[in-house]
Structure 1
């Protein structure tokens, strides 16, 4: 698994795709935080990072599929997966190696956002007037959200040889899992809370408020495990 993880990281970092994707992510996030009047912290007048943590999930819906789309689809298209499968490694090692490699890239994309946290921390009056607990909780939520989206993206990449199709499927599934159940609850007049609890947004919002509930942790870990299991099942039943 470690060999696959190292191979994937080296492959990503040796191409411009990862740098361009992460660069665009940080640029768009910076525009939302500091430039666009409706979401700018400077216009808001308060040392608050709520806009950042509410914007990143929607940027993740495009960033993460762009990272994961080539993980298995490219292997299948180039015919290199057969060579990989002949090595003394299991399907689970292949899936987890690629999963953790993509997750590491997501974490690398998040690290520069700490500059925004420091900037808002310094802009507070007095300096440091920032809800640190909520910030920590939000980063934990982003890590779990990123892990779930990566699992979804890996699954989408496993069911097609076309990277564009893998990207499109992953974007749709990430959006539906994050916001789709909220929309469904709005259409139905009964059991709204039960339907909302099926979606990621409800659990991400709870963690972002600094409330670490074991039910939310179990939800995210279950979603990650479920989509990784789907991916392993697809690889186990390959006929290509």
Structure 2
């Protein structure tokens, strides 16, 4: 565990010791602020039955920047080290392949969680600076961040695998965003084709939009937890296989 902790700290430092990590943080804070502002404007213009949390996380702007977070924070993880030749050096060091994979994944996940801390305070500022009760329940807010964490665990794993498949950060980013966009639009299959075909239940099960819909209303469900955690483990296993193949490649 000591080696894993050291490697994770090293990877995490790369986010905060370079301008890129701070730019990503500023980008997410700005875009989340715009999503919240547009939701509040909607509340001002017309009566809305849904909570402020629900409306904020269901704007097109939110999904636009949310899906782009993952190629930004993962595309360099393996691709940059492969391009610079440092991945071979790392793999020949006295560390195990699973430690390399998990350290990069954990560092990306820690950074991802940090990205959402300002968003939590943005919602809290609504009641701190006004005398109006917040237009959301605490359960809806915590549920939303819980599902964002679960989705982030899987989407970050996808980014790790994409980065492990190529030595180009750009290609890794393109692969990641392509997979995530496809996954996003799979959630609309039942909207387009209806509920009458045999696979409708499967598309409901994997729909990120539906998961966010329930959790942002404070309705917790164990099925998305199982789905995202098991899918994350499977993707990380594939990443391990890809990196381990490079370790033993002549």
Do both share a fold (TM > 0.5)? yes
Inter-partner Cα distance in structure 1 for 2:220 and 2:191: 26
Residue 200 to residue 40, structure 1, CA distance change in 2 (3 Å): closer
Residue 20 of structure 1: which of 18, 23, 32 is its match?
Answer: 23
Equivalent pair of 1:121/1:130 in contact (CA under 8 Å)? no
> TM-score, structure 1 length as denominator?
0.89
**Pairing 1:86-235 to 2, within 5 Å after superposition:** 86-122=92-128, 126-128=132-134, 130-177=136-183, 179-189=184-194, 190-191=197-198, 192-235=200-243
TM-score for both structures, normalised by structure 2: 0.86
Structure 1 position 227, deviation (Å)? 1.0
Return the offset for 1:229: 1.0
Shift of 1:68: 0.5
Q: List alignment gaps of at least 5 residues for structure 1.
A: none
Residues 76 and 8 of structure 1: CA distance in aligned 2, closer, same or farther (over 3 Å):
same
- Quick one: distance in 1 between partners of 2:165 and 2:96? 18
1:61 to 56, 67, 74: 67
In the TM superposition, what is the alpha-carbon distance from 1:226 to its structure 2 partner? 1.3
Distance 1:60 1:33 in 2: 14
Contact 1:122-1:128 within 8 A present in 2 as well: no
Match runs of 1:26-105 below 5 Å: 26-34=29-37, 39-45=38-44, 48-55=52-59, 56-105=62-111
Q: Which residue of 2 aligns with 1:3?
A: 6
Give the secondary structure class of the aligned counterpart of 1:93.
Answer: helix
Unaligned runs of 5+ in 2: none
Q: How many residues align?
A: 235
